[in-house]
């Protein structure tokens, strides 16, 4: 009897097992996608300073072709009320504004030695933007020095006139005078860089491509050999430090610590000591690069911070990225998790509706006055601006819930996922914050442990909705299921 009962139970178990196998194997069944994540409160990583943007405070042609005399600029073109809304609703939360010297600030003195405002009120607008938004200050970097210092006497392409000691001394004095001019107009200078993309504007390449499509991509540039770049830095950096002792000096706004510019800097130990960070340009790349190519991005860093200071989507990039919205937020997170970056820069706050590349470049659009030959947003009134959700919604949560000077915490992951990411920090006040992303096509559950806080409050961001409340979760171990195409932020009270 006992044997019969035992057989009956085993038979029942077998039937249940076969049924479970059939269920799991059925087309309609999907196992939960999940991972385990242990927060290490005793393993602080880098301090996250805050985020940056670039401001188009002067005209540039559509497709980056040309620098017209007509003033199409922001904040200049906005009504007073729209300026105030711009500063408070979009820019509040950013720490740095990238100021493109020779491009978006390109007026000159009579000798064309110094860069000044090109139209009345330009500096007043930049100062008001700084003060009302609450940002710390500007990342001042040249797209081109003033024309006097260049062989072709123009902002367009070419290179500097010489590298002899007398020239370098005068040239560096002029760049310091540019900094003093900004200070005299009330601008705070937080960062400084010698040259944006110093590989662009090679005189020979310009000649070769004068009648090609490349020739239309004309804006302020200046080509440097690695040797000339380091020679200018060697003379300029001590003078910049004398005026701005606490300024963050970065190089080379192109290929970080891994290329020839950094290699040339490393030949001079004193110059290397005065470089505070290495900057990359990672225009529209897949966020997976920060995982797969970490050794490339960190090569030669010498313990200095590594970060990117220009990110946007150009037309050829948009075709490669399935979801720019998700890729942008995960790129930010991956730079901070895998490259230990202290900051991250988006290219433009606003672009005019007349710039046909604006959708991939801008967090929002503004409408200049007058009759427009092209208009990406025909319903937008002159002097007004609006958000571009594809780009803005990906960053908005980080600006609101990731405070300046927060310390990233190490997280032990069961598996490093490409489509799901976690970023954990503790603010200066000691409050825990967690950002989660799900770039996948199905919900993903994060099984979290190591939480010391009594409760966390959740908020969700998607391309269609901002700051959706998710209620509270409590306990040292919690599960959070994030829907596809979403970012979530869970912060302590």
Q: What is the rounded distance in angstroms from the CA atom of residue 98 to the CA atom of residue 336?
A: 19
DSSP per residue over 65-84, as a string?
----SS---TTTTS-HHHHH
Which of 65-79, 169-183, 208-222, 469-483 is predicted least confidently? 208-222
Q: What is the rounded distance in angstroms from the CA atom of residue 237 to the CA atom of residue 249?
A: 8
Confidence of residue 256 (pLDDT cuts 50, 70, 90): very high
269-322 confidence digits (pLDDT tens): 999 999 999 999 989 999 999 999 999 999 999 999 999 999 999 887 777 898
Confidence of residue 204 (pLDDT cuts 50, 70, 90): low
Q: Which residue's structure tokens are 């044997």?
A: 3
pLDDT reported for residue 339: 98
Residue range 116-130: mean pLDDT, rounded: 98
Helix-, strand-, coil-residue percentages of the chain, each rounded to 5: 35, 30, 40
- Which uninterrupted H or E stretch holds 36? strand 33-48
Q: Phi then psi for 142, rounded to 5 degrees?
A: -85, 130
Per-residue buried b or exposed e for 373-406, using 16+ beta carbons within 10 Å of the residue's own CB: eeebbeeeeebbbbbbbbbbbbbbbbbbbbbbeb
Say if residues 233 and 160 touch (Cβ distance below 8 Å).
no
Helices 389-401 + 324-338 axis angle, to 10: 40
Q: Phi then psi for 241, rounded to 5 degrees?
A: -60, -35
Question: In terms of Cα–Cα distance, which of 414, 419, 436, 449 is closest to 491?
Answer: 436
Question: In terms of Cα–Cα distance, which of 332, 452, 445, 476 is closest to 31?
Answer: 445
pLDDT reported for residue 320: 83
CB-based contacts of 353: which residues, under 8 Å, 6+ apart? 365, 366, 367, 368, 372, 374, 375, 376, 377, 380
Chain centroid offset of residue 164 CA: 36
Is residue 206 scored above 60 in pLDDT?
no
Question: In terms of Cα–Cα distance, which of 387, 411, 332, 434 is closest to 91?
Answer: 387
Q: What is the rounded distance in angstroms from the CA atom of residue 50 to the CA atom of residue 54?
A: 14
Is residue 218 scored above 90 in pLDDT?
no
Residue range 120-135: mean pLDDT, rounded: 98
This prediction has a pTM of 0.92
Count of alpha carbons within 13 angstroms of residue 412, beta-carbon side: 9
User: What burial class does residue 125 get, using C-beta atoms within 10 Å of its C-beta: 0-12 exposed, 13-18 middle, 19+ buried?
Assistant: buried
pLDDT reported for residue 13: 39
CB-based contacts of 332: which residues, under 8 Å, 6+ apart? 51, 344, 394, 395, 398
For the chain, what percent of residues have pLDDT higher than 70? 91
pLDDT reported for residue 25: 38
Residue range 50-71: mean pLDDT, rounded: 95
pLDDT reported for residue 75: 98
| Domain architecture of the chain: domains with CATH | 30-45+406-492 (2.60.40.1180), 50-401 (3.20.20.80)
328-348 confidence digits (pLDDT tens): 999 999 999 999 999 999 999
Say if residues 387 and 363 touch (Cβ distance below 8 Å).
yes
416-454 confidence digits (pLDDT tens): 999 999 999 999 999 999 999 999 999 999 999 999 999
Is residue 203 scored above 80 in pLDDT?
no
Is residue 91 scored above 60 in pLDDT?
yes
Phi-psi region at 96: left, alpha or beta (left = phi > 0; alpha = psi -120 to 50): beta
């Amino acid at each position: 009897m006992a044997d019969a009962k035992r057989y009956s139970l085993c038979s029942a178990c077998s039937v249940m097992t076969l049924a479970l196998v059939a269920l799991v194997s059925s087309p309609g069944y999907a196992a939960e996608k999940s991972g385990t994540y242990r927060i290490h409160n005793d393993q602080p990583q880098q301090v996250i300073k805050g985020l940056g943007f670039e401001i188009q405070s002067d005209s540039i042609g559509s497709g980056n072709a040309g620098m017209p005399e007509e003033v199409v600029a922001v904040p200049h073109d906005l009504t007073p009320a729209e300026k105030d809304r711009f500063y408070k609703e979009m820019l509040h939360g950013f720490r740095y504004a990238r100021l493109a010297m020779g491009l978006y600030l390109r007026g000159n003195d009579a000798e064309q030695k110094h860069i000044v405002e090109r139209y009345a009120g330009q500096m007043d607008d930049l100062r008001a933007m700084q003060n009302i938004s609450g940002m710390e200050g500007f990342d001042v970097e040249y797209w081109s020095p003033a024309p006097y210092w260049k062989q072709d006497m123009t902002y367009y392409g070419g290179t500097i006139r010489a590298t002899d000691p007398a020239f370098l001394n005068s040239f560096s004095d002029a760049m310091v005078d540019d900094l003093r001019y900004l200070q005299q107009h009330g601008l705070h200078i937080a960062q400084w860089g010698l040259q944006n993309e110093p590989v662009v504007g090679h005189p020979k390449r310009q000649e070769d491509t004068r009648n090609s499509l490349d020739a239309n991509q004309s804006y302020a540039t200046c080509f440097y050999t690695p040797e000339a770049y380091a020679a200018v830095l060697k003379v300029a950096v001590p003078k910049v430090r004398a005026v701005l002792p606490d300024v963050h000096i970065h190089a080379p706004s192109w290929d970080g610590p891994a290329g020839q510019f950094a290699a040339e800097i490393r030949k001079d130990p004193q110059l290397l000591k005065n470089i505070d960070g290495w900057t990359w340009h990672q225009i529209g790349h897949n966020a997976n690069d920060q995982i797969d190519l970490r050794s490339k991005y960190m090569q030669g860093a010498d313990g200095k911070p590594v970060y990117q200071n220009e990110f946007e989507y150009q037309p050829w990039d948009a075709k490669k990225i399935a979801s720019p919205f998700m890729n942008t937020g995960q790129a930010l997170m991956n730079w901070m998790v895998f490259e230990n970056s202290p900051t991250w820069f988006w290219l433009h706050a606003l672009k005019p509706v007349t710039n046909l590349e604006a959708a991939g470049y801008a967090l929002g659009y503004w409408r200049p006055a007058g009759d427009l030959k092209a208009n990406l947003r025909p319903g937008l009134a002159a002097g007004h601006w609006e958000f571009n959700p594809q780009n803005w919604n990906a960053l908005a949560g980080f600006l609101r819930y990731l405070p300046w000077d927060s310390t990233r915490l190490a997280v032990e992951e069961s598996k490093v996922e490409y489509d799901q990411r976690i970023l954990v920090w503790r603010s200066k006040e000691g409050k825990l914050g967690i950002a989660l992303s799900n770039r996948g096509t199905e919900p993903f559950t994060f099984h979290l442990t190591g939480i010391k806080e009594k409760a966390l409050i959740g908020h969700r961001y998607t391309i269609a909705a901002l700051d959706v409340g998710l209620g509270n979760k409590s306990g040292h171990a919690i599960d959070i299921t994030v829907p596809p195409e979403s970012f979530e932020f869970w912060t302590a009270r």
